[in-house]
Amino acid sequence: MSLKNQASDIRSVVIVANPDKDKARQETPRLRQWLKRKHIATLPASSISRADGIITLGGDGTILSIAPQAAAAGVPVLGINVGRVGFLTSVEQKRMYPFLEAWLKGRLVIDERMMLEVVAPRIKAPQLALNDAVIRIGATSRVTTVFASIEKEDVGCFVGDGVIVATPTGSTAYSLSAQGPVLHPGVEALMLTPICAHSFTQRPVVFPAHQTLDLQLRDIRERTEVQLCLDGQRVFSLKSGDCVSVRRANATLQLISDPSVSYFEVLREKLSWGGR
């Protein structure tokens, strides 16, 4: 994670609203009018590369849905939370307009977050993910076996419901529910977390972010249904013998944030971290 000042010359933005949230749909026209009064153009989602910023109305899922495009285009994202937790979002809906004013005046910063680059069979191009890449069993599978190696060195076999490869940003998502550690976004590392492991010796592994992790599916049953899921949104089928490679992507996601709010403050507020 690195912080840098956000430029105040904002001339155009893309609004990405969660269509399943009433508050997001209702707030969108008001936001458009507010931006128009500020002489800021609203571009369609197809023009992200030409925008100075992206404003999301929703929760973490809305940011995850646009993160690959935003990272590839190098366009910063400002998330408005109209959901529940909103761990990745910049501000709650009730404070959004003063926060947007601060953004336009250059008072906010860009928080750069590591992304994953995932390569798998039958997927034409490498895929980007912000939180995690997950190999998991489907509805009819009992367990699956995943053989892991880092930089061609054997790590071992993971037998259970699958494995999670997470970034520091993703350490507070699915990996956390699978008993993985919490990593500060400033840590240059990735983690491999087993899901419902069938052995007490299978524990999460943290490794340097510059190293490549290879995961090979080794299921003896031909009808085993196993999936590769990226950020909980994009799902691909895997077959026994398939190898999935995961590494740190060159692109990073730029999240607009308040420099006065620390990461640990967000942990305490959103997850009741350290509470009794």
276 within a domain of the structure (yes/no): no
Tell me: do 47 and 154 sit in the same domain: no
Q: What is the pLDDT along the chain (276 residues), one digit of tens a residue?
A: 555 555 568 999 999 999 999 999 999 999 999 999 999 999 999 999 999 999 999 999 999 999 999 999 999 999 999 977 778 999 999 999 999 999 999 999 999 999 999 999 999 999 999 999 999 987 766 789 999 999 999 999 999 999 999 999 999 999 999 999 999 999 999 999 999 988 777 899 999 999 999 999 987 666 668 999 999 999 999 999 999 999 999 999 999 999 988 888 888 887 776 665
Mark whether 124 and 223 lie in a shared domain. yes
User: Are both 9 and 92 inside the same structural domain?
Assistant: yes
How far, in whole angstroms, is CA 200 from its chain's centroid? 28
* Mean of per-residue pLDDT scores for the chain: 91
Instruction: Give me the number of domains the chain comprises.
Output: 2
* Same domain assignment for residues 153 and 66: no
d(CA 276, CA 270): 15
In this structure, are 122 and 242 located in the same domain?
yes
128/235 same-domain check? yes
Sign of CA dihedral 115, 116, 122, 125: positive
For 26-76, how does the pLDDT look when each residue is reduced to its tens digit (9 = 90+)? Answer: 999 999 999 999 999 999 999 999 999 999 999 999 999 999 999 999 999
Global pTM?
Answer: 0.92
Ordered DSSP codes for 41-67: EEE-GGGGGG-SEEEEEE-HHHHHHHH
Do 96 and 150 sit in the same domain of this protein?
no
d(CA 62, CA 86): 10
Same structural domain, 20 and 93: yes
Same domain, yes or no, for 66 and 104?
yes
Q: Which of 22, 52, 60, 219 is catalytic?
A: 60
Instruction: Give the CATH number, domain containing residue 177.
Output: 2.60.200.30
Range of the domain at 229: 115-250
Q: Is 60 tagged catalytic?
A: yes
State pLDDT tens for residues 85-101.
778 999 999 999 999 99
